[in-house]
Every structure is written in structure tokens, then in C-alpha cells.
Structure 1
């Protein structure tokens, strides 16, 4: 066979060629330069991330004629011989097919002989976790105290299956999944060297399908080149991998948001007729909603969004679909994906999940019952009426179970008869911290969303115009725009206060007491507190400073902290 697969042609021959494993290569290069070479290494990580390649590069580097060096020269007889496998002192053993005690005993017997062609005899044992318990025991003593001319390099995808006694005798390096942008960069180098045209979208789709493995990405690229004609396009990669384009997914997501069940099921039928895999389709849906969530909450972090394009339709969906809906959608899809792995009919579970998504908004505030909508409308009308009366200089008073009455206020008349707990607010201000206030403000929006989810929409509407303005370790001051709202929340006859305190406790793991205050009164209380604090500081002035002012005059004194 004259043709070689791309992953063999472009197998890394230097540490610099290992993509996405800089934390490993930097450590090994440093050790090579300082001649601090260990007798045993353990390379663990997902498949196709460069473990065996790194082992062969390390074997070349320690035996290179230019050693000590950071990189093998790949030109001397030792490097060339190790690359083509003609040097018998560097052995690559597959533990999956050589996992018995006899094979390991054979290694143990030959370890004591000095290398014949190079400086170090290197044993690379791939998939070492496949060794039997007896084989591990036979390897143990040799691995602990091998001759000075021997290096063991163990590679595995499942390090948890290796006995701790083996792991403790090795320097362990964990190889990570390679990030999509790094894979795309490497694939671009490959297609340029091969004089092949490929779109960026197609390379990104390959990188995403490879799931962090460079070998898988090169194999998929090889397959896509054979599948396509003159240029590797996104459509070719999607057809080959069974994935769905984000533009097609956008139509499905739009139909789900509009609760158009007929259109959703029709789209699913089209996907199935095109040969799409239900498991792959639900995974693509989860990633699409994940991208919507990240774009909606952190639009400036475009680099972490995995989608192949943020077109106008994607941005419009991100603005339209509310956050609670996205959260619940991802949760439903994730549960369905787990169930689909253990069934012979994954399509049925996918259909059920999509129909369930079309009904989910019925439980949110965006499709509330007529009774709740009517209540919100009444509250809005009441707020408008209060604003109008306030502009006319008319105050409002109300009694429990009675209608609202309006009258011209006297100079010192309180509006709704709500007695502001000034003393309690002063106590909170004395112990107030920015950390506690930031903690409550950070969870305030989430608390309102939870109230809506619990069908306490009237409570959420009542708190819509409120704002936490001060907080101590055990209480916080909540400012209300309208005094009547303040009184309704503070009376707690409808359990608004209890609900707020309970939800905040669940979110922050701290018990905060809610103290309500109208906007107008808050300004006065705050000014009074600041004034009293300033007076107290003046009273507590340092006697030395007071004496200096008396002797030299206040104009000539400059106080530095």
C-alpha cells in the first residue's frame, strides 16, 4: 500500500508538534536539559491525545546524539532508527495482547542486558491497564529498581485500573482533551501542506466531532477528503458524521419556542429520513441551547461559544427565549439523552422530549393563567393611580380589607400609615458590609425568578420596584418605590417577607431578616445616620489632635492617617 493515513503521515516527531499538551512537553523538555530523567513514566489521558507519540519522542530525545537536548534532531542514526522501528533497544509493547505473566517475565529477564545500539533501553507499554494482576506483580520490582540504562513509559486511557503500587513508582503526566481551536489550527496546517481546500466551518465541525482527540480529527479529515469532490465543505462533514447544521437547528429551536408541535415533529421526521442519528441530534440540540445560554448571559465571551456561527437568527433566539426556559430545556434534554442510551428505540424518547419542551412554558410566567394575569393588571393599574395621586400632592391611606381612600395630606401626615422601623435600620447600618449587600443583590434576580416559578407572581410583581440598599450579616434593608407596596410586604399577611427570607436562605446559606422602607424615608434615615456618625467621630477625636488645634489653630493643622 502506497497511501498512508493522515494520522500516520502527520504523527508528531518533536515535542513542538504535540498540540494542546504544553503542560507535559514543557516539563519533559526541562528534565531533558537538566539530565533529570526518571526511570518510569505514566502517560494517561483520552485516546488520540498524543500519549504514545510523546513516549516515542522522549525515547528519541534521551538517545539522540545531540543529547542533552530539548528536541530530538530526527537526523542522527538513533532518531531515524527509533522512528522507523529498526532499533531493538526501543520496544513498543501492546499490553492488550501481551497481558500475561510470561510476557512480563520475559521483559524482566532481558532488562538486565545493556542496550546494543543506543544509550538507553526504552520499554513503551501501551494500554498498560490491560495487564493481569499477576503481570503487574511481576513488573513491580523491576519497575521500582530497574538498571540505570532502562526507562519504562506506560501509557493508558484508564489509569484508575492500574494498581496504586505501580502508579506511585512512576512520574505521572495527564494528557488533556485538545481544545477545538487547537485542532482546527492543526487541521489547517495539514490541508495546506496537502494542497487541499477546506472551509473553516468544515474544519470546526470535524474538530467538534473528534471530541478532543487529534487522531480522530485527522481520521475524520481523511474521510471527508475522500467524501468531498474539490473542496471539503460543511455539508460534506455534516453528512459524513450525521451531525446537524446550526442553521437547521435554529428552525427546530424556533418551532419549539413557538410551541408548534406539528412543525417540530415534521422537522424531526425530515432529520430521520436524512439518516440522522437521534443520539447525535439530541447532543447537537443540547450544545445549541448551551450556546444560547452563554451568549445570553455573557455575550462578550464569544470564544467559548462552540457553535459554527452566530448569525442573526441565533442572536434573535437568544434575545427571545427567557433564561428559565433555557435552563429547563437543557435539563429535559439531558435526562432524555441518558434514557436514550439504554433503549432500543431512542427516537421515541426524542419525540417525547420535544413534545414536552413544547409544553414547558405553560408552567412559566410567560403563559400564566388568566387569574394571575388579571391580578398583575390590577397591580399595574393601582401603581399608575398612585403615581397620578402623588403628582397631585394627594396621599393614600388604606386599611386591611377596605378600599383605598385619597385625601390631601397635612404637613406632618404619614402617607399609608406605615411605621418605619428607624431604630432597626440604624442597627443594620452600623453593621452593614459591602460583601453582604453584594451577596443579596447578586441573587435578587434569581430570587424573583424562583417566586415566578412557584406561581407567586403577585409577590414578584410587588417586589419588582424594590431594591436592597444595605445589608448586615443577619438583615438587609429593602427600599420600595411606593409606600403602599412597602406596607404590604412588611405586614406579611400574604407571607411575602417569609418567602423572600426563605428563598434567600436557600440561595446564600445565610439567614437574612428583611426590613422594608419607603424610598422617601430611606433618604432621610440615611442622611441622619451619616450625620450622627460624623458627630460621633468628632466626639471621639484624638486628644493629641485636639490639643494641637488649640495651640496652633485649626487652619495650620494637617492630619494624615
Structure 2
């Protein structure tokens, strides 16, 4: 048992690349270094910059072995000669690794300078690998500068750092700089999958994706997470175990939010919030995931493709299907809401309520309508009969049958005479205006039209429309659509030839529009054409 424990090596060390072509995700850098070794164009100093766990120190060690290898194979170290074996075991006197964080004083650099002038013992070059070189003090950098300016021919420096901006420009300018980038999710998935197959471990696609995403571009982090899952689950790793170990928020929570938006179901906002609280999830992490969720929907909606989303195929297809139900402008508005909430969240005294407010804003957000769609909708009204438009836009309850004929002057109806007699005192002036000829009344099916012949009549009757409407309903036992028309403004009405035209004032309905301005948008032109709309100048 003790022997088996001592034989165990963590995945990151066991599967550390030993050749340039084994370095994962940094092909441009390894290709350049191989050519430099092949052409014997070795620089005096190299600066390897990039995030953690992407292969900086590993590449430095491979380069150190390659330049000192006795039997190089296509610029690759053989890993079999005495020099390669000594470097691999860490016993070589020609390759010295220094931790810049713990050896950052001027005295440490002076000791380095004193030993660096001596030639290598077994190999061709003497190589110093300084990790986290940005941790050196300014005085230490200045002490190192002298030997970098005029280095011995046998000396090579390889600096590795995660923060290259902290390296003095005088040092960086004397180095060949290589920027190591974060490793792509697909590359990490492929690497972990190969390791799992070699180790005889079963792992599903969703688990591989979760490991790669959690690693955030660091292969070493991904391999460490993989070790953690193997220790927990054994030879079979399932996504359910991963969720419980990493305490990650399932994508289903984010799809619940988009489903609630489509269904306009505000109750789900509180249900989602309660589930997050019960499971102990971090609200900030949920907001970040929600932002990424709607970003994926937007990407799928705009491009119609999901290959670049770095998602499992089933999940990517789900995003593509869901994106078809939400408009692009709505997705942009939702992303803006989430971004604003993230900024306010850190200052919120009650984060749960702020989260619920965000979810309600998303769910209750009205959908946008394209101007082109609105124009097409307005144009379609031309083909709909007016009676149908009225019935569709303003439904009225079923009314009892009436004996009143359709579209007939009120003077010819005995019912209207009785109406005038009964309500003459209540509606003062109605009967007098009709007798004088300045007011005409036409009764149509479910509609009474009052036609005013001059401004005095129009103003008087307009002030009594509510009273007239109530009286008509009481007398006839049903509701009528009451309309008042200022006929004295319309040249088409010839019933009142002696009426002088006055300055136009806003009327309630059916007013002939004034001449439209020369420059009008398409929507404005349609409104004028379909609804007799006219422009009212603003008062100065």
C-alpha cells in the first residue's frame, strides 16, 4: 500500500510534455523555437509571458534540453542522452531553475552573475530559467541588466512571467518575447479525453466541457480538476457528480429564465430565486452565467451558427432552437439589463431582491416591433372593411335589436322627436339647433352622427356630448357610437353654403387633413392616408 501511494504522480506532472510537438495549444511558439534550434540561431534571453498553466516553464525546460542534447532529432531533445536525463531529473549543473518570488533581492542576482560567468560543465550552454521574473525588485533588475547587455557566449536566460508589464522595459527589450495564450476549450477537452482513455476512466461529454470551462484556459488547472473528480468518482465520472463537487449552476436555470420571458410568467422569477437560495448558489455567479446564456442566444440568433460557441453539440443545438423565438433587439435589451444589474449588485443591501427585480424586468419586458413590420401592418388595414376594423379594435357587447332604420335623417324618425321632447330641458339647445338648420343628425346602425354647420353649434354640442350619450342610452336602451363632425370646415359639405370657414381647431373625428408637409416619413404618410391624421403645430 505504501509503495502504491509513493508511486502516484499527479496528472499535471505525469503527462507533462517532453518534446516541442507535445506542447498543447502553443504551436506557433514551439514551431519558432524548433527552427531556432535547427538553424542554430539561439538568442541570449527569452521572455515567456502568459497566464498560468499554459506551458511556459514546460517549454523552457524543453528548450534547455534541446540546445544541450547530444543526439537531437529534428530539433527535438532525445530525452535519452546523459544531458537530457540530468535535466529531466533536475540534477544538471548546466540548467539552473530559480524562483523569482523567493530570490528577488540584489544579493541573489549578484550571486547569479558570479556563477554565470563560468562555462557549462557537460553541455554546450549554461541556462538560467527564472520563473515569475516580475517579482524581482527594481534593484535586482538593474543588477541583472549588466550581464544581459554583454552576456558570455555560453549563457542563455529564459524568463517566465504571468505579468510581463511589470518587467522593466530595459530587460524586456533585450529578450525575445513569446506570448503564450489561453488554451481553447476544445483543445483542453481533447487532452483530458486522451488522458482519461489512457488511464481507463470513463467520462461523458458534458463533464469534459465543464472541466475545460472551469479551467479558464489553463491546462494545468484542467488536469488538477480531473484528478479531483477521479478521486471522488473513481473510474466513472458523471456530470451529476461534477455539479455537486464544483457547486456549479446548471444551464437549466438559465433556460428557465428565457422560457419565463417567452411565456411572460412572472411567477417563475420568484421560483428561480428561491431555488438558487435553497441550493446556496452565488448570485453574482448566476448573473455571469445569465449574461453568457443570453450572449449565446444572441450569437446563435445573429449568425445562425453555433460552431464557435465552444459548447457540447446537444447544448449548442438547444441554443440555436431557442434563439429563433427571441428577437435580436430584445436580446440586446436583456443583456443591457443584466449588465446594469451586475454593476449595481455589489452595492445592493438585499441581493436577492435585486436579483428578483432583474428577473421580473426581463420577463415583463415588452417585445420590440420592427418599423417595417409596423408599416406592413398599417398597409394591411387598407384591405380590411371599416366595420371589421371597428369590431376588431373596439369590440362592443351584443345589443338588442332596434327598429331604427339604417343611415336615415333623425327628423324622419318619430322616436327622435320623442327623444327631443323628453330631453329638451336636459340638453338645452339641441332641438333649437336642429330647428334652425345648423345641426343635422343622422342615425345609422349603432351609430349617431351629429353634423355641426358652424363653430358655435359645434362648440356647444361638443360640451354636451357626454350628456347626449347618456340620454341616448337611457331612451333607446342600447349604446350608440356618438360622432360629432364639424362640417363647416369641410368644403365637400354643401348643406351650409352661407357658413364661413374659420380657422381649424382639433376635431374629434373625420376631419379633412390639412396639406401635409413636403418632407414626411413613410409612417407619417400612412397615418395621414389611413386615419386622416394631421400635424398640429407646437405653440411658441
TM-score, length-scaled by structure 1:
0.65
Query: Does residue 1:183 correspond to 2:188, yes or no?
Result: yes
Q: Report whether the alignment pairs 1:354 with 2:359.
A: yes
Residues 45, 379 of structure 1: alpha-carbon distance in 2 compared, 3 angstrom cutoff = same
Q: Which runs of 5+ in 1 are unaligned?
A: 387-400, 405-416, 422-457, 464-483, 496-561
Equivalent residue for 2:272, pick from 267, 270, 295:
267
- Give CA deviations for 1:320-349 in whole Å, capped at 9, x if unaligned: 111112112222223433444677875554
Task: Give the match for residue 193 of structure 1.
Answer: 198
CA distance, structure 1, for counterparts of residue 22 and residue 276 of structure 2 = 39
Shift of 1:68: 7.5
Q: Which residue of 1 aligns with 2:381?
A: 381
- Please give the alpha-carbon distance, in whole angstroms, between the structure 2 residues aligned to 1:419 and 1:348: 51
Task: Tell me, in whole angstroms, the C-alpha distance in 2 between the residues paired with 1:343 and 1:76.
Answer: 63
Aligned equivalents of 2:46 and 2:534: distance in 1?
69
Structure-to-structure mapping, 1:425-464, within 5 angstroms: 462=523
Query: How far apart, in 2, do the equivalents of 1:229 and 1:73 lie?
Result: 35
Contact 2:207 2:237 in 1 (8 A): yes
- Aligned residue for 2:365, secondary structure, equals helix
Number of matched pairs: 404
Counterpart in the other structure of 1:235: 240
Alignment-derived partner of residue 543 in structure 1: none
Change in CA separation of 1:488 and 1:378 when aligned onto 2, cut-off 3 Å: closer
Equivalent residue for 2:122, pick from 114, 117, 120 = 117
Secondary structure, counterpart of 2:366 in structure 1: helix
Q: Which residue of 2 aligns with 1:130?
A: 135
Q: Which has the higher helix share?
A: 1
Cα deviations by residue, 1:487-515 (Å, 9 ceiling, x for unpaired):
979xx9879xxxxxxxxxxxxxxxxxxxx
Partners of 1:29 and 1:234 lie apart in 2 by 40
User: Offset of 1:355 from its aligned partner?
Assistant: 3.0
Residue 148 of structure 1 deviates from its aligned partner by 0.9
Q: Aligned pair in 2 of structure 1 residues 229, 337: CA closer, same or farther (>3 Å)?
A: farther
CA distance in 2, matches of 1:305, 1:403: 70
1:100 corresponds to 2:105: yes
* Superposition pairs of residues 512-531 of structure 1, within 5 angstroms: none
Question: Could you say if the C-alpha distance between residues 374 and 206 of structure 1 is closer, same or farther in structure 2, counting changes exceeding 3 Å?
Answer: closer
Distance 1:41 1:374, change over 3 A: closer
- 2:166 alignment partner in structure 1: 161
1:43 corresponding residue in structure 2: 48
Residue in 2 that maps onto 1:88: 93
The structure 1 residue matched to 2:307, chosen from 288, 302, 305, is 302
- 2:20 and 2:375 map into 1 onto residues whose CA distance is 68
Q: Which residue of 2 aligns with 1:286?
A: 291
Distance in 1 (alpha carbons) for counterparts of 2:102 and 2:266: 53
1:393-472 aligned within 5 A: 462=523
Q: Which has the larger radius of gyration?
A: 2
Q: 1:147 aligns with which of 146, 152, 177?
A: 152
Q: What is the deviation of 1:6?
A: 1.0
Counterparts in 2 of 1:63-74, with a 5 A limit?
A: 63-67=68-72, 69-74=74-79
**Contact preservation (8 Å) 1:252, 1:264:** yes
Deviation at 1:42, TM superposition (A): 0.4
The answer to whether the Cα contact below 8 Å between 2:300 and 2:319 also exists between their aligned partners in 1 is no
Supply the distance in 1 between the matched residues of 2:84 and 2:316 (Cα, whole angstroms).
Answer: 50
Distance 1:134 1:377, change over 3 A: same
Structure 2: stretches of 5+ with no match in the other structure: 387-488, 493-514
Classify 1:381/1:52 alpha carbon distance in 2 versus 1 (closer, same or farther; 3 Å): same
Q: Distance in 1 between matches of 2:317 and 2:197?
A: 31
State the Cα distance separating 1:486 from its structure 2 match. Answer: 11
The answer on whether the counterparts of 1:35 and 1:68 sit within 8 Å (CA) in structure 2 is no
Question: Which deviations, in whole Å up to 9, do the C-alpha atoms of 1:221-243 show, x marking residues without a partner?
Answer: 11111222441122222222222
Whether the 8 Å CA contact 1:32–1:69 is kept in 2: the answer is no
1:87 deviates by 0.7
Query: Does the CA-based 8 Å contact 1:278-1:346 persist in structure 2?
Result: yes
